[in-house]
Amino acid sequence: MSGETAPPLARATLNRAAHRRTDPDWLAEAWERARVLVLDSADDGRALVRGEAAPPELVLIGSGELPAVPRSVPMFLGVEPDGVPVFAVDSPLPELPDTRRANLREVGHLLVDRDAGLFTTALALLNWHVRHGYSSVTGHRTQVDEAGWSRIDPGGERVWPHTDPAMIVLIHDGVDGPDGRCLLGNNATWARSPGQRRYSCLAGYVEPGESAEAAVLREVREEVGVGVGEIRYAGSQSWPFPGSLMLGFLARADADQPIRVDPAEIAHARWFTRREIGAALAGEPVTVDGGDRLVLPPPSSIALFLVHRWLDGHC
């Protein structure tokens, strides 16, 4: 049993205090007493963590302890329960004893709620800034405004951070017990590791004018040629690689339907029993096509959360 009630990156405790983003006097004073999360955009958005055992601790420093001039202006994340403001900056990471570099994929599921929320929010905001240096309306260079929560061009054209909605679905056959099955796919664009092959839930972006449920029907039909029903929403989380909001679903399908993959999207897809998925999660070898060993989605993903929901019978 997983015991998970929310996706791993859907946890946060920080008061975002959005009304402070347009108060320059308060922000200037807050910066002097702030805790600062340093992210390095040149190193996959890594931050410093401390502690080898779970949960590792996200390392924040004082604003006067930055080792170099940041690449970004301070981005205001919010206020902690003890009243201390928190900012994030893009900068080379400081050299601190007993710390290590880590990216969100590696440690997001291990962090406590407070740290998971801080890291996810800061990385999502940073990745948006990195990719939106110019106005899509005027083509002019933009600069950061509102404490990191907007960008503005010389003519006053303003843009705000956005996330791209995407659906992800765990397809199952509705059968209880160890012989119940789920349908997972190996994406055609994923890098191959010798002797291993990763299978995950099917996913895709929600198109303009489309509901998330309609996207589930369309994407599953396009990728594996299977019709689904009984679509149930299971939860959502940010996936800031670079900037998606993953909307998670469970859906039922007749396992006797033929699988017809779109080779541009899916290299291979097949049904797995609960017995096989449970064995793989326990570290036991499960063989897939070509003799490769089954690898499941990473722990910080909503995909593995959905797998656990199905495995535990929440469908």
Segment 189-201 shows an average pLDDT of 92
- Summarize pLDDT for 124-142 with one digit per residue, the tens: 999 999 999 999 889 999 9
Domain ranges of the chain: 18-131, 164-311
Q: Is pLDDT above 70 for 2?
A: no
pLDDT of residue 4: 64
- Summarize pLDDT for 35-62 with one digit per residue, the tens: 999 999 999 999 999 997 779 999 999 9
- Summarize pLDDT for 94-118 with one digit per residue, the tens: 999 999 999 999 999 999 999 999 9
Q: For the chain, what is the mean pLDDT? A: 94
Q: Is pLDDT above 90 for 79?
A: yes
SS3 letters for the chain? CCCCCCCCCCCCCCECCHHHHHCHHHHHHHHHCCEEEEEEHHHCCEEEEECCCCCCEECCEEHHHCCCCCCCCCEEEEECCCCCEEEEEECCCCCCCCEEEECHHHHCCCCCHHHHHHHHHHHHHHHHHHHCCECCCCCCECEEEHHHCEEECCCCCEECCCCEEEEEEEEECCCCCCCCEEEEEEECCCCCECCEEECECEEEECCCCCCHHHHHHHHHHHHHCCCCEEEEEEEEEEECCCCEEEEEEEEECCCCCCCCCCCCCEEEEEEEEHHHHHHHHCCCCCECHHHCEEECCCCCCHHHHHHHHHHCCCC
Q: Is pLDDT above 50 for 32?
A: yes
Please tell me the pTM assigned to this model: 0.92
- Summarize pLDDT for 224-242 with one digit per residue, the tens: 999 999 999 999 999 999 9
pLDDT of residue 238: 97
Q: Is pLDDT above 60 for 195?
A: yes
Does 164-311 carry CATH code 2.60.120.10?
A: no
pLDDT of residue 1: 36
Percentage above 70 pLDDT, the chain? 99
- Summarize pLDDT for 256-293 with one digit per residue, the tens: 999 999 999 999 999 999 999 999 999 999 999 888 99
Q: Is pLDDT above 60 for 163?
A: yes
